[in-house]
Structure 1
């Protein structure tokens, strides 16, 4: 076999010129920054034009579709009606959905003989779903702390906020007696 020798070209005496350090960092940065701004602007413009007005126009309604002859206001009204969610009400409220507190409206005490007290109920509803405003509810509650034992009363709730009741008049054995109330039953009326 014969040996082949390959000639290596001589090295230049001076190194190749290099770009200045200042241009090496700035130019690619400025090109990338400018490209990013232009791209972001183009994307924003496309999104704005695409999303800007999603309602159908007369030109975008195809012939033969149900709304082809409808006016734009009729189309908008139909869309609004379709978007309105149906209200759901508590169809079976229970006693645990309500709490009742007592407000003392008058109190007459007789030393160690006790007091005559008039109280009115203040009811709160804590159910997950709202009550049907078109229905009336009969709410029975029990008052504790009277000298004569528990007193059962009923109040009527309508329109979710209108409460009708009779004040409860009771006697206590001391002026420090604590009066409490608890809802025991709820019935739907009407």
Structure 2
């Protein structure tokens, strides 16, 4: 009987949030008197709701966020007929790499000058803040003295 009463009290506290106590009345009737009190005191303290952690703010990248140069990896010259030159971009970010979104992919478009048939436009991909993916470019120069140059023309976040 005591276990059943204890289970009933626990169930009442869990479902109502009130602790019900029973005491014997001193009056003429033999009915027990009951009182209800809240199980959690109201101290007037209001707790602030936790705000979610804000997403980190990453900077906008533009053509002025980088410098670019060309690294010559192969050169085959044919006398006065010019040269076939293989070049790769050497990209430098001018800020703190921590300000680049690690989850974003940036397409960096650049234009190579010096090919005898006109400018060559290529695009490199910057991922994971520091990983640069590109395809080496093969250009044909008009003479052995022609030095290719490069300029960034566009930066887009994908």
TM over 0.5: yes
Query: Which consecutive residues of structure 2, in runs of 5 or more, have no partner in the other structure?
Result: 1-44, 46-54
- Inter-partner Cα distance in structure 1 for 2:75 and 2:90: 18
* Displacement of 1:145: 1.2
Report the equivalent of 1:97: 65
Partner of residue 144, structure 1: 113
CA distance in 2 between counterparts of 1:105 and 1:157 reads 21
Shift of 1:88: 3.5
Instruction: Supply the distance in 1 between the matched residues of 2:72 and 2:56 (Cα, whole angstroms).
Output: 37
More strand by share: 2
2:144 is the counterpart of 1:156: no
Q: Please give the secondary structure, in 2, of the residue aligned with 1:177.
A: coil
TM-score when normalising by structure 2: 0.62
Aligned equivalent of 1:126: 94
What is the distance in 2 between the residues matched to 1:184 and 1:96? 10
RMSD of aligned C-alpha atoms? 2.6
Q: What SS does the corresponding residue of 1:96 show, helix, strand or coil?
A: helix
More helix per residue: 1 or 2? Answer: 1
* 1:100 and 1:181 in contact (8 A); partners too: yes
How big is the shift at 1:122?
1.1
The correspondence for 1:183, drawn from 149, 152, 155, is 152
Q: Which runs of 5+ in 1 are unaligned?
A: 1-64, 66-85
1:106 correspondence with 2:74: yes
Query: Any conservation in 2 of the 1:100–1:123 contact (CA below 8 Å)?
Result: yes
Question: Per-residue CA shift, 1:109-165, capped at 9, x if unaligned?
Answer: 001110000001111111477211111101100001111111100010001111111
Q: CA deviation at 1:174?
A: 0.9
Aligned residue pair count? 110
Q: Distance in 2 between matches of 1:147 and 1:181?
A: 15
